[in-house]
Amino acid sequence: MSEVVKHLAIVTGAGSGLGRALAVELVGRGVQVVGFGRRAEALAQTAALAGPGFHPQVVDVADADAVADAFARLEASVTILINNAAVYPRRDILDETPETFMASVAVNLGGMVNCTAAALRAMVVTGRGRIMNVSTFADIAPLPASSAYAVSKGAARIYTRALVADLGDRFPGIVINDWMPGMLATQMGIAEGLDPAVAARWGATLALWHDPSLTGSIFEMDREMLPPRSFKRRIKDRLLLRAKPVARRLT
Amino acid sequence: MIADLTDRHWDVIVIGTGIGGGTIGRALAEQGLSVLFVEKGPAGHRTEETALNTAMADPVARTIRGFWPAPVTAQIDGKTRSFFAPLGSGLGGSSVFYAATLERPEPHDLDHSDARPHPTGGWPVTHAEMRPWYDKAEAMYHVCGEDDPLSDHPCTLRTPPPMTATDSAIMAGLRRGGLHPYRLHAALRHVEGCRECLGSKCPRPCKMDGRSAGVEPALATGRAALLDRCEVTTLQGTAGHVSHVTALRNGVPLTLRADRFVLAAGAYGSPRLLLASAAAQWPGGCANGSGLVGRNLMFHLNEMFAIWPKVVADHAPGKAIGLRDLYHRDGERFGMVQAMGISAGYGEITHYLQQWLAQTGLRRLSGLSRVPAALASRMLGRAQVFVGLLEDMPYVGNRVVFDSAAPDAIRLEYRLHPELQMRRRQFRKAIRHGFRGQRPLFLTWRPELNFGHPCGTLRFGTDPATSVLDPDCRAHGIDNLHVVDASFFPTSMGVNPSLTIAANALRVAARMTEAG
């Protein structure tokens, strides 16, 4: 695994849950981390846990201007972006107003778009970078009372694929993929879920893994999810004596 | 900022930034002239590693990547088909995608002799007169390689890095078979991290092309500027003089002025621009007194074949070997044979198979060619794919046409003359015979035109009735218009066109500055 050199990682949603755990884990591995979050106190708590490598920035990722300003304040160019910030309002679709619904979209999709656009401006200059989008399967079978989350996170997965379609062939050194951390014991998750610190170890390893062949891949927890192979594909692979693809693991 | 470029009266405006435009723009800027490069496509990001992709169809996506946006519509032997040619439209033109093979032609490619008569009686500039310019172009493009053991004219080339074990084994096998292989001449600097970006944009100052060896050093002089995403639509002026050009940038019409104009939009683009500039003072198109603008279109015929070397190391072969044993044989003009490099070959095999399927009327099955191509690359994985370039001859009926209703479309009409078909059969026979013992397998069934090597559409010569340009590549009858892309070739030669384009651009730059 070749690691991105001279790291400056941005972790969005670093004031709580998985974002905080990722920030702590990355700082623990010697990475300088800029943590984006809306609440200064929450970021201060992350800073206390992470140590001196953590640099808090109070910024609402849904606010494109605020994100651009925050990137302009960075002392070095971002090499790793972890789009982690998300909101998960539990609300009946009958109670969602267009405003409340779109406010969730503005964070879960808009925040990813705002931060990615800003990070790419630096990454295309060097041709190198790492963008990892924290994702979910919530779009496949939306749960009741989760409409805004399911829709916006589903759109965010499409955004990852669109990034790969536009950039994959031109900038193979900018490695972009999705990571599904699993069900976590966080405010957004479930009480019996996984310790976010455990998930963060996988997430940090994946974020520090700079291999162009990762672009477009999806990892669930510590394991690569291979795209389903159609019958035709399997026949073709057999015909060409291709080895069956093997899912990669985060160790 | 754009106004700074458009309001200025330049010494020279260069239209197109491929090998020809990039090279001459650099030479002129280094000699102290102010130079504006006008490029139809985008400058792009220097870190891009995009590979040429003839399957991508969306014109916006193609433009962003520096591919020519529109398909070529070709009427070949009366049958019309449409396809994406391996053509660039962006900073560096097609050259950012090329394989950086900068080979010299043979004397008979340019010169007439009784032993080897030239089909046009010879170029107006001899091989001997070109040699100093080849030397200069090879130095400018950092060309590395070995001298052809069959040649009397040594080059001064950089020593290439050691060959892979696979290539050495192939080379030894060819020598045992009585052939004379040598290290192909490549414009690669092999800087730290070099991945030999053959077929794709090089993100480092390593592969030397119209961008890295031309425009970028020109801009570094401080005397040159680049206007990208800007398409020149017409040349304007009086009968014997170009005063300005009209152009479109982001839909905004512009007028660009200079003392002199250099056309380097490629052998498809340059004649189309001259034809598009037809006006009262230029009936039938600018510089078209001869009626030959766009005519005498030539390509190379690619004969691809695979050989299996007896000893193979487990290492990917490179595009490292060339030979000229079959270049001219039994009184016939053929051309060079070169290794393609199997990794670079896959996409091209697919392309050729798709063309073949399209030709046979099985267009709907063209997706299937990926399977045989992948199969071929699998089965031939331990083979080396070579290509023989067969020289094409000029015929006035073969031409680029301009359609004012579709100014962006490249349309061409071409007939495979019986003479070419006959020479092709002889070339294949010569390959089969020359490579016997190497188990050659042809990968091309029908004549395969190399649409990335167009030339001849503005030929140079001494007689204004039979040529478009004079021996200095200035348009006959127009005092300040030069052409330096492959349009000027009277014949297509048996080698890749790039080195001759670059050398000629340096020669023309010297003529332009000598003439003051």
pLDDT beyond 90 at B256: yes
> Which are the contacts of A60, defined by CB distance < 8 A and separation ≥ 6?
A38, A66
Question: What is the residue type of A89?
Answer: P
pLDDT beyond 80 at B372: no
* Residue with the larger pLDDT of the pair B360 and B453: B453
Q: For residue B492, give how far its alpha carbon lies from the nearest alpha carbon of chain A (Å).
A: 33
pLDDT of residue B344: 36
Could you give the CA distance from residue B445 to residue B461 in angstroms, rounded to a whole number? 36
pLDDT of residue B217: 98
The pTM (predicted TM-score) of the whole model is: 0.92
Mean pLDDT value across chain A: 93
Residues of A with CB under 8 A from a CB of B: 124-128, 169-173, 236, 239-242
Q: Which of B67-71, B342-346, B367-371 has the lowest mean pLDDT?
A: B342-346
In terms of phi and psi (left: phi > 0; alpha: psi -120 to 50; beta: otherwise), the region of A131 is beta
Q: What are phi and psi of A67, to 5 degrees?
A: -65, -45
Q: What are phi and psi of B339, to 5 degrees?
A: -70, 140
Could you give the CA distance from residue A122 to residue A99 in angstroms, rounded to a whole number? 33
pLDDT of residue B437: 81
- Please report, for chain B, the start and end positions of each structural domain, with discontinuous segments joined by +: 2-514
- Judged by DSSP in three states, B489 sits in coil
pLDDT beyond 60 at A137: yes
- Judged by DSSP in three states, B511 sits in helix
B2-514 CATH pick, 3.90.245.10, 3.40.630.10, 3.20.20.140, 3.50.50.60: 3.50.50.60
Question: Given an 8 Å threshold on Cβ–Cβ distance, is A171 in contact with B45?
Answer: yes
Q: For residue B50, give how far its alpha carbon lies from the nearest alpha carbon of chain A (Å).
A: 4
Question: pLDDT per residue over B458-503, tens digit each?
Answer: 999 999 999 999 999 999 999 999 999 999 999 999 999 999 999 9
In this prediction, residue B352 has a pLDDT band, given cuts at 50, 70 and 90, of low
pLDDT of residue B185: 96
pLDDT beyond 70 at B356: no
CA distances from B80 to A251, B83, B87, B361, B367 (A): 57, 10, 19, 12, 20
Mean pLDDT of A76-92: 96
Give the helix ranges, DSSP H, for A29-139.
40-50, 64-72, 98-108, 110-126
Question: Given an 8 Å threshold on Cβ–Cβ distance, is B49 in contact with A240?
Answer: no
Q: Which residue has the tokens 């193609």?
A: B62
CA angle in degrees (0–180, nearest 5) for B54-B58-B63: 80
Question: pLDDT per residue over B168-221, tens digit each?
Answer: 888 998 999 999 999 999 999 999 988 888 889 999 999 999 999 999 999 999
Looking at A54, A149, A179, A219, which residue is catalytic?
A149
Question: pLDDT per residue over B375-417, tens digit each?
Answer: 555 554 456 789 999 999 999 999 999 988 888 789 999 999 9
pLDDT of residue B196: 87
pLDDT of residue A1: 35
Joined together, the tokens standing for residue B59 give: 């014109």
Question: Given an 8 Å threshold on Cβ–Cβ distance, is B47 in contact with A126?
Answer: yes
Question: Is A149 tagged catalytic?
Answer: yes
> Percent of chain A beyond pLDDT 70?
96
* DSSP label of A59: -
pLDDT beyond 60 at A70: yes
In this prediction, residue A5 has a pLDDT band, given cuts at 50, 70 and 90, of very low
pLDDT beyond 50 at A2: no
pLDDT beyond 50 at A138: yes
pLDDT of residue A173: 97
Buried b (16+ CB within 10 A) or exposed e, A147-170: bbbbbbbbbbbebbeebbeebbbb
Mean pLDDT of B126-146: 97
pLDDT of residue B438: 80
> Which are the contacts of A170, defined by CB distance < 8 A and separation ≥ 6?
B45, B48, B49, B50, B65
Helices (H) and strands (E) in chain A, counts: 8, 8
pLDDT of residue B57: 94
In terms of phi and psi (left: phi > 0; alpha: psi -120 to 50; beta: otherwise), the region of B93 is left
Q: CB-hemisphere CA count at 13 Å for B159?
A: 2
pLDDT beyond 70 at B222: yes
pLDDT of residue A244: 80
From chain A, the residues in CB contact with B378 under 8 A are 240-242
pLDDT beyond 50 at A145: yes
pLDDT of residue B100: 95
In this prediction the ipTM stands at: 0.91
Question: Given an 8 Å threshold on Cβ–Cβ distance, is A171 in contact with B48?
Answer: yes
Question: pLDDT per residue over B376-385, tens digit each?
Answer: 555 544 567 8
From chain A, the residues in CB contact with B51 under 8 A are 169
- C-beta separation of B215 from B92 below 8 A: yes
Domains of chain A: 8-239 (3.40.50.720)
pLDDT of residue B59: 95
Question: What is the residue type of A103?
Answer: A
Could you give the CA distance from residue A205 to residue B149 in angstroms, rounded to a whole number? 54
In this prediction, residue A237 has a pLDDT band, given cuts at 50, 70 and 90, of confident
Mean pLDDT value across chain B: 91
From chain A, the residues in CB contact with B371 under 8 A are 236, 239-240
Mean pLDDT of B49-56: 92
pLDDT of residue B47: 97
Question: pLDDT per residue over A163-195, tens digit each?
Answer: 999 999 999 999 999 999 998 888 888 888 899
pLDDT of residue A243: 74
